[in-house]
Amino acid sequence: MKADRRQPLQPLSTRVRAGRALMPWIRRAVLWIFALWCLFPIYWLVTMSLKRQVDAISRKPKFIFEPIWDNYLSVLANGEVWQYFQNSAIVALGATALSLILGIPTAYVLARYRFTGNADFGFWILSTRMTPPVAMLIPFFVVYVQTGLFDTYIGLILAHVAIIISIVVWLMKGFFEDLPSEMEEAAFMDGATHFQAFFHICLPVTLPGIAAVAILAFLFSWNEFLFSLVLADRIQTVPVGLYSFVGYQQIAWGELSASAVIMLAPVLAFVFVFQRQLVRGLTLGAIK
């Protein structure tokens, strides 16, 4: 198709050509080194989960050791880790869904409609992420106890929505902005209402983008710590639960790492399933 344009104007010098031939290998090396860097702490965490405590903190870090499964068995037999998982799954999925339901319409209007205060409104949404939580904890706690939201799933979900909705709105806004305005204009010509244009025309094309934003929102909610700690007692999420392995005058390295590895599995499964969407999702401009 573009073959005609591919003809080089002049032959490249040997040096340049050698350089270009080498490029993929340099690129590949860099990518794999970076992968190692990302992987190494996780690898170390996994090995710790397979070691006895005396080996986990051994003088000479042991690369070769006899793996034991006791940590996994004790964590799984304990059952609490399932409770954390269940709590986190409910809260993170709920918060992701709700933040999408509330955030996408907001993002759409901010991206596509010009109205007074548009920029300020967008900025206000962003600013909800800016306040350091320290001073907000007590009022938050009091409000939650007073309204009965304390220690409920819905309470945690709402708090997480408040934390992640800014990301949803701002990323989705970017996707909607990349859509050509002819899309809705054509729909309006056909007599569609604003709702119909949004719902039937724009929303479907951004579905992959929504998947991408959903993954990020999910990860942010899944790993949220401070509000999950303060706004609930019995409903312990994964980060809150795992922190309890850091005891007084001892850290249960084995159980901490085994639980973290177990909890990584469902998240990875979630990401793996969506990751094709993830990249396609961030690829919307292609329809321009």
Which residues from 116-145 bind another protein, rule CB under 8 A?
118-119, 121-123, 125-132, 134-143, 145
Tokens of 216: 């990020």
State yes or no: residue 60 binds another protein (CB under 8 A): yes
Site for another protein in 261-280 (CB under 8 A): 263-264, 267-268, 271-272, 275-276, 278-280
Please state, in angstroms and rounded to a whole number, the distance separating the CA atoms of residues 187 and 134.
48
Please state, in angstroms and rounded to a whole number, the distance separating the CA atoms of residues 69 and 201.
53
The binder of another protein chosen from 17, 27, 207, 273 (CB under 8 A): 27
State yes or no: residue 53 binds another protein (CB under 8 A): yes
The binder of another protein chosen from 76, 152, 177, 205 (CB under 8 A): 177
Question: What are the residues whose beta carbons fall under 8 Å from the beta carbon of 261, sequence distance 6 or more?
Answer: 45, 46, 49
The binder of another protein chosen from 34, 86, 148, 200 (CB under 8 A): 34
Q: Taking the complex as a whole, how short is the minimal distance between the CB of residue 190 and another protein, in angstroms?
A: 15
State yes or no: residue 9 binds another protein (CB under 8 A): yes
The binder of another protein chosen from 1, 3, 54, 64 (CB under 8 A): 54
Following DSSP, what letter does each residue of 93-156 receive, concatenated?
HHHHHHHHHHHHHHHHHHHH---TTHHHHHHHHHHTTTS-GGGGHHHHHHHHHHHT-TT-HHHH
State yes or no: residue 186 binds another protein (CB under 8 A): no
Classify 246 as helix, strand or coil. Answer: strand
State yes or no: residue 110 binds another protein (CB under 8 A): yes
Q: Taking the complex as a whole, how short is the minimal distance between the CB of residue 31 and another protein, in angstroms?
A: 6
Contact (CB, 8 A) for 198 and 105: yes
State yes or no: residue 174 binds another protein (CB under 8 A): yes
CA 108 from centroid of its chain's CA atoms:
21
Site for another protein in 70-99 (CB under 8 A): 79-80, 83
Q: Taking the complex as a whole, how short is the minimal distance between the CB of residue 165 and another protein, in angstroms?
A: 6
| Helices 253-281 and 70-78, packing angle to 10 deg | 80
Please state, in angstroms and rounded to a whole number, the distance separating the CA atoms of residues 184 and 227.
40
Q: Taking the complex as a whole, how short is the minimal distance between the CB of residue 113 and another protein, in angstroms?
A: 5
Site for another protein in 201-260 (CB under 8 A): 212, 216, 219, 223, 225-226, 229-230, 233-234, 236, 238-240, 242-251, 253, 256-257, 259-260
Cα–Cα separations (whole angstroms), residue 286 to 64, 70, 112, 280, 283: 49, 51, 19, 10, 6
The binder of another protein chosen from 69, 180, 186, 207 (CB under 8 A): 180
